[in-house]
Structure 1
Amino acid sequence: MPEQARIQELLTLKTIAETLNSATQLDAMLDTVIGKLLELTGNKSSWIFLSEERMDYSFAADRGLPPALQRNNKEPMRCGSCWCLNRLWDGRLDRAVNIVHCKRLEEARQYSWGDSLGITHHASIPLRSGERRIGLLNVASPGKVQFKDSELALLQAVALQIGGTIERMRLYSIEQRRAKLYARLGEFSTALGLAGAGCTEPEALARQWAGLIGRHFDWPFAAILGRREQQLEVFAVHTEDPAVTNPAGFRCSASMERRLELLAQEHRYAVLSPDESRELLMACSSYSAQPEAGRMTILAAPVPQMSTQRADLLLIASPEAPSSLQPDGEVLEALAEHLAAALESVRLGENRRELARLEERNRLARDLHDSVNQILFSMSMTAKGVEAMLAQEPAGHPAADAVRDIRELSQTALKEMRALIMQLRPAGLEAGLLTALQTYGQQQGLHVRTSRSGIRELPHSLEEGLWRIGQEALNNVRKHSGVAKAEISLQLRTEEAILSIADRGQGGAKRRRAAASGDSLGLRIMKERAEAMSGRLAIRSSIRQGTVVEVTIPLPRQSM
């Protein structure tokens, strides 16, 4: 008899091994293997819980489950915890054991959920692969309250086979996912290069990047986070919810903010806890309201910025189990590096364009200085010499007044040309916009008073645009106001910069602006410069009460 039992055990293990060896899909494998197990051992009911994280499990498979545990789409098995799971999470369940009291079966009897088929007890066997916890195998039969040691040993051997097969499938699935993600990464890189080539605004780039991530990967959520004016914000977000198209603000706890700051200083991706993932989903978008959001895991990777010596964060949410997130994390790191390189490329491209503009202006300034400026100087000297010769005539010469006018006009033109050369080749912006404008005004014979509110760095292109507008406004003060005083103020706000140039002169700028004459050219140029920076120009002018020229320019997000 013992020999027959031994043969039966070996036959059971052989059949289970063959079943597991031919399996390719996890759900189908679990269903088939517990069916074979019940057939070979004579038991009537079996079910499997898969659990890798504490207080988190899934009801994976069952055969012969009593009707009492099948109510409401098997809700008793999908919700709540039980003694065997608690023991598994606490590390106390390390071998096959008899469960004297089953909480789920007791609740079925207590609340009259239905027929339990006489099942009151079951055996619980941990599913493991090495030291990694995978889940639980439960086996029961009607009226059976105790499993023999030999039965528990057989169930333990079967559980080890199941655990090894689950691990093999997990590793195979990870490699499949890694291959798929890296293939999509190549497509993403191509699309990212095209997107970066056609866009220079950082905020627009961030939105494009989030959209590209959503288009090329199966992550249901992606976001780019960073700081703006010392405030953590969402620069761009992608979700599967079409109602969420733009970030609607970012609010998180102080502990989460500190956690994100630490993550931004790391060099590798990080996997956030379930509580942290839920908080970030809630803070970034309304996606947390979706039913499947509770099973999402957030991964975060820093996006280093070489120009600012700091980093933003790239976040994605994955529905994969925490133990299978390594491919997602590797690709997320690669994405962060791609985004950092693309952002740096955009910055370098803007610098190249700015250097080209500066070089062209310098060339024009040199050409004007070497040609027109010298001609005007020669004309002025020639007129002065002719005027001196005509002055020697005893009775005066009829052309003396005309020559004097020529000399004065040439000197005025020379002064204007020198001012134009200085505008083409500005010096002093390194000391600040207000200092440069004050120095320029003093060179024009004006007494300039400056004031400033707010502290932040202006992008070079915007600073130079404001410098050009300020120069033109000061030129108008000198030419048209009739006074030698001007007031300049610069307000730096969170989202905009406001430059104001005011005088208390004779006014009349509105008439000049409306007139279709050469006098309105300067005002049109200022307006065009403001619009080129996506800003607006406003002029307030009253007769004998002065003129205020105010230009408002939107500022980019500082971190980007």
Structure 2
Amino acid sequence: MNKPQLASAKGEKSAMSEEVGMQEMVTLKTIAETLNTSNDLNLMLDTVVGKLLELTGLTAGWMFLINERGDYTCVSDYNLPPALLRKDKEPMRTGTCWCVNRFKDGRLNHAVNIINCKRLEDAVEFQWGDTHDITHHATVPLRSGEKMLGLLNVAAPAKEQFSDSELALLQGVAYQIGSAVERMRLYRAEQRRADLYAKLGEFSTALGLAVNECSNSDAFSLKVVQLIGQHYDWPFATIIQQKNGMFVVQAAYADDKVRTLSSTPLSIEVASHINHVINSHRVTSLSGTQIAEIFTLCKPDQTTNSIASGIAARLPYHTPEETGILVIGIGTSGPAQADREVLEALAEHIAASWESLKLAENRRELARMEERNRLARDLHDSVNQILFSLSLTAKGAESMLSGSEQLLPATEAMKDIRALSQEALKEMRALIMQLRPAGLEAGLLHALQEYGTSQGLQVVMNRTGMRSLPRNIEEALWRIGQEGLNNVRKHADIPSAEVTLKLSNHEVVLTVTDQGKGGANRPEASSGSSLGLSIMKERAQSLGGSLEIVSSPRKGTTVTAVIPLPFESV
């Protein structure tokens, strides 16, 4: 080749290089402009893949995003061959391939040629359909800085090799896509965080208005999960409470429905993880298996396909026997940092509302006690004194009339008046004692013994076990024991009774026994229409307990109240 021909060849080569360089610049510029056209991730990726194939002359492309656990999702595809479109793109959603495996192993750091595509090989082997003569593809890692995000794959019919310049161009495009994906993820994360915190304010306001409607912990838990379901997009929410040393699901929200649950305990494995949540004082992740067990307890007739994992936060109640855990089920996308932050804030708001509920209950209880004390004082200062004066007057009149036989009927009438007034005075003193119990601060058994003595009964006290009783349970047992001793005085026709208090870790049992004539022959007792017995049962049932009455003409009567106790940390 002579010098003019050599110079011409060099010029043509230089011109081609410049043309290729310009084409690469146009491609990168067009991709950059395309990446800034939308904040919708899927729409943006579909558009950029299509534009990349148009500029490079390739025909098919697809993109995988791969999370920290190695789970991949095909987020975009363009012009896939029919073999990969079968059954709603099942080949792109399931199975594995060389490029994904190499990405997981950390061995895919730059654009490379893939000799064979396993998905297309399977399509040919199992005759899934036409592959458009595509057998190979190039794969390029998507990254933002040091963070690996996924893979970009591109291919064309009968193309088995990509040149170094083509791979370099694809590498540059992949960097642009990776940066745009990360930018959009950050934008969406901040947008979600803002939305979640805005909903937190609405939730807190609604809970503050509704808390006074709750009468106990079950009603409170039910209201909490209901409001979480109304304000947030989490598919599942539940509150787990520690009762008698075991964790049980108390209330749950799922499928737009709220329900209370039976006291079925969690398995040892899940309970151990819940204990870890309590001890760590931080939001903790739950695996798919763990959240599935909790969900199954709440919705045994449903599957957990829409819930891939969960997060749990401790509800920082001040009393150890009321330890609670708030559990949230998360969809297939997994929990974001914003979900964790808001769940922790939710737990604080719920705990504050719980304390407000307890304070409101205490205020109502103090108001009831003050009203009973006021009524007791009024009865003592008015009706009680009048009855006492009536008894003394009747006794004086009886003495004045006793010397005359002609006035004997009047004397007998005065005796009856004095007896009735003394009985009424006794009943009034018993009523005042019930309204304003004296001696309860010295202990339940001491107070019942004092009350029995004031009613003219000899009361034998027995006690088994030792632990403190919550005030509401102690007062309920006091009222039940009072009514039991009243029944002994009125109906047993015997001046003695036995009171037994049995305390265990899980329950308290109060028994009032007499050896009198029994109340089985009283129609109102056997039919359950007795007001006193009904009130006793209501008191026990209001605390989740039960009341049993066994009466026999030969063996007397036994009243047994069983009330469950909250878990007490030692």
More deviation in 416-425 or 15-24? 416-425
Code of the residue aligned with 1:255 in structure 2: it is E
Which residue of structure 2 aligns with residue 139 of structure 1? 154
Are residue 193 (structure 1) and residue 208 (structure 2) matched?
yes
User: In the alignment, is the contact (CA less than 8 A) between 1:34 and 1:63 conserved in 2?
Assistant: yes
Pairing of 1:29-178 with structure 2 (within 5 A): 29-178=44-193
Structure 1 residue corresponding to 2:303, chosen from 278, 289, 295: 289
Aligned equivalents of 1:508 and 1:233: distance in 2?
40
Percent identity between the aligned chains? 53
Structure 2 residue corresponding to 1:204, chosen from 200, 219, 224: 219
Query: In 2 relative to 1, CA 251–531 (structure 1 residues): closer, same or farther, beyond 3 Å?
Result: closer
Which residue of structure 1 aligns with residue 12 of structure 2? none
Aligned equivalents of 2:82 and 2:36: distance in 1?
32
Which residue of structure 1 aligns with residue 479 of structure 2? 468
Are residue 528 (structure 1) and residue 535 (structure 2) matched?
yes
Q: Kindly state the Cα deviation for residue 208 of structure 1 after the two structures are TM-superposed.
A: 2.2
Which residue of structure 1 aligns with residue 517 of structure 2? 506
Code of the residue aligned with 1:547 in structure 2: it is T
User: In the alignment, is the contact (CA less than 8 A) between 1:281 and 1:287 conserved in 2?
Assistant: no
Code of the residue aligned with 2:72 in structure 1: it is Y
Structure 1 residue corresponding to 2:313, chosen from 301, 308, 320: 301
Query: In 2 relative to 1, CA 514–477 (structure 1 residues): closer, same or farther, beyond 3 Å?
Result: closer
| Residue segments in structure 2 that go unaligned for 5+ positions in a row | 1-15
Aligned equivalents of 1:344 and 1:376: distance in 2?
46
Which residue of structure 1 aligns with residue 374 of structure 2? 363
Which residue of structure 2 aligns with residue 225 of structure 1? 240
Query: In 2 relative to 1, CA 96–411 (structure 1 residues): closer, same or farther, beyond 3 Å?
Result: same
Are residue 347 (structure 1) and residue 358 (structure 2) matched?
yes
Are residue 485 (structure 1) and residue 485 (structure 2) matched?
no
Which residue of structure 1 aligns with residue 448 of structure 2? 437
Which residue of structure 1 aligns with residue 281 of structure 2? 267
Code of the residue aligned with 1:18 in structure 2: it is E
Across the two proteins, how many residue pairs are aligned to each other?
548
Aligned equivalents of 2:370 and 2:182: distance in 1?
63
Query: In 2 relative to 1, CA 455–339 (structure 1 residues): closer, same or farther, beyond 3 Å?
Result: farther
Code of the residue aligned with 2:333 in structure 1: it is A
Deviation readout 1:218-256 (Å, 9 max, x if unpaired): 2111111111121211101111176x8443565544332
Are residue 422 (structure 1) and residue 433 (structure 2) matched?
yes
| Residue segments in structure 1 that go unaligned for 5+ positions in a row | none
Structure 1 residue corresponding to 2:270, chosen from 247, 251, 256: 256
Q: Kindly state the Cα deviation for residue 298 of structure 1 after the two structures are TM-superposed.
A: 0.9
More deviation in 379-388 or 35-44? 379-388
Q: Kindly state the Cα deviation for residue 24 of structure 1 after the two structures are TM-superposed.
A: 2.2
Structure 2 residue corresponding to 1:314, chosen from 307, 326, 346: 326
Deviation readout 1:438-491 (Å, 9 max, x if unpaired): 343244343334557898876533432332232122123124322222233457
SS at 1:237's partner residue? Answer: strand
Q: Kindly state the Cα deviation for residue 95 of structure 1 after the two structures are TM-superposed.
A: 1.7
Deviation readout 1:283-339 (Å, 9 max, x if unpaired): 44337615333xx331212111123376311111222633x6222222222222222
State the TM-score, normalizing by the size of structure 2: 0.83
Query: In 2 relative to 1, CA 273–160 (structure 1 residues): closer, same or farther, beyond 3 Å?
Result: farther
Q: Kindly state the Cα deviation for residue 531 of structure 1 after the two structures are TM-superposed.
A: 3.1
Aligned equivalents of 1:339 and 1:361: distance in 2?
33
Aligned equivalents of 1:441 and 1:170: distance in 2?
74
Which residue of structure 1 aligns with residue 9 of structure 2? none
User: In the alignment, is the contact (CA less than 8 A) between 2:64 and 2:72 conserved in 1?
Assistant: yes
User: In the alignment, is the contact (CA less than 8 A) between 1:50 and 1:135 conserved in 2?
Assistant: yes
Query: In 2 relative to 1, CA 249–402 (structure 1 residues): closer, same or farther, beyond 3 Å?
Result: closer
Structure 1 residue corresponding to 2:556, chosen from 534, 538, 546: 546
SS at 2:24's partner residue? Answer: helix
More deviation in 368-377 or 88-97? 368-377
Are residue 234 (structure 1) and residue 249 (structure 2) matched?
yes
Aligned equivalents of 2:80 and 2:260: distance in 1?
47
Aligned equivalents of 2:262 and 2:386: distance in 1?
61
Query: In 2 relative to 1, CA 248–12 (structure 1 residues): closer, same or farther, beyond 3 Å?
Result: farther
SS at 1:358's partner residue? Answer: helix
Aligned equivalents of 1:310 and 1:532: distance in 2?
21
Aligned equivalents of 1:276 and 1:415: distance in 2?
62
Code of the residue aligned with 1:270 in structure 2: it is T
SS at 2:316's partner residue? Answer: strand
Aligned equivalents of 2:181 and 2:372: distance in 1?
69
Code of the residue aligned with 2:39 in structure 1: it is T
Aligned equivalents of 1:419 and 1:148: distance in 2?
103
Query: In 2 relative to 1, CA 247–473 (structure 1 residues): closer, same or farther, beyond 3 Å?
Result: closer
Aligned equivalents of 1:365 and 1:143: distance in 2?
100
Q: Kindly state the Cα deviation for residue 18 of structure 1 after the two structures are TM-superposed.
A: 0.3
Code of the residue aligned with 1:300 in structure 2: it is A
Which residue of structure 1 aligns with residue 337 of structure 2? 326
Aligned equivalents of 1:87 and 1:287: distance in 2?
40
* RMSD (CA atoms): 3.8
Aligned equivalents of 2:275 and 2:46: distance in 1?
46
Query: In 2 relative to 1, CA 496–510 (structure 1 residues): closer, same or farther, beyond 3 Å?
Result: farther
Pairing of 1:400-419 with structure 2 (within 5 A): 416-419=427-430
Code of the residue aligned with 2:537 in structure 1: it is A
SS at 1:117's partner residue? Answer: coil
Aligned equivalents of 1:210 and 1:154: distance in 2?
52
Aligned equivalents of 1:544 and 1:38: distance in 2?
99
User: In the alignment, is the contact (CA less than 8 A) between 1:124 and 1:137 conserved in 2?
Assistant: yes
More deviation in 21-30 or 137-146? 137-146
More deviation in 183-192 or 340-349? 183-192
SS at 2:522's partner residue? Answer: helix
Aligned equivalents of 1:463 and 1:218: distance in 2?
43
Code of the residue aligned with 1:191 in structure 2: it is A
Aligned equivalents of 1:252 and 1:542: distance in 2?
43
Q: Kindly state the Cα deviation for residue 415 of structure 1 after the two structures are TM-superposed.
A: 5.1
Aligned equivalents of 2:263 and 2:493: distance in 1?
49
SS at 2:280's partner residue? Answer: coil
Query: In 2 relative to 1, CA 256–524 (structure 1 residues): closer, same or farther, beyond 3 Å?
Result: closer
Deviation readout 1:390-443 (Å, 9 max, x if unpaired): 99x9x9x98999888887776666555444433322134345544432343244
Aligned equivalents of 2:248 and 2:561: distance in 1?
27
Query: In 2 relative to 1, CA 187–60 (structure 1 residues): closer, same or farther, beyond 3 Å?
Result: same
User: In the alignment, is the contact (CA less than 8 A) between 1:465 and 1:530 conserved in 2?
Assistant: no
Aligned equivalents of 2:294 and 2:524: distance in 1?
52
SS at 2:43's partner residue? Answer: helix
Structure 2 residue corresponding to 1:24, chosen from 22, 39, 42: 39
Aligned equivalents of 2:413 and 2:265: distance in 1?
75
Q: Kindly state the Cα deviation for residue 35 of structure 1 after the two structures are TM-superposed.
A: 1.0
SS at 2:71's partner residue? Answer: coil
Q: Kindly state the Cα deviation for residue 91 of structure 1 after the two structures are TM-superposed.
A: 1.8
User: In the alignment, is the contact (CA less than 8 A) between 2:229 and 2:256 conserved in 1?
Assistant: no
SS at 1:80's partner residue? Answer: coil
Aligned equivalents of 2:262 and 2:414: distance in 1?
70
Query: In 2 relative to 1, CA 414–116 (structure 1 residues): closer, same or farther, beyond 3 Å?
Result: closer
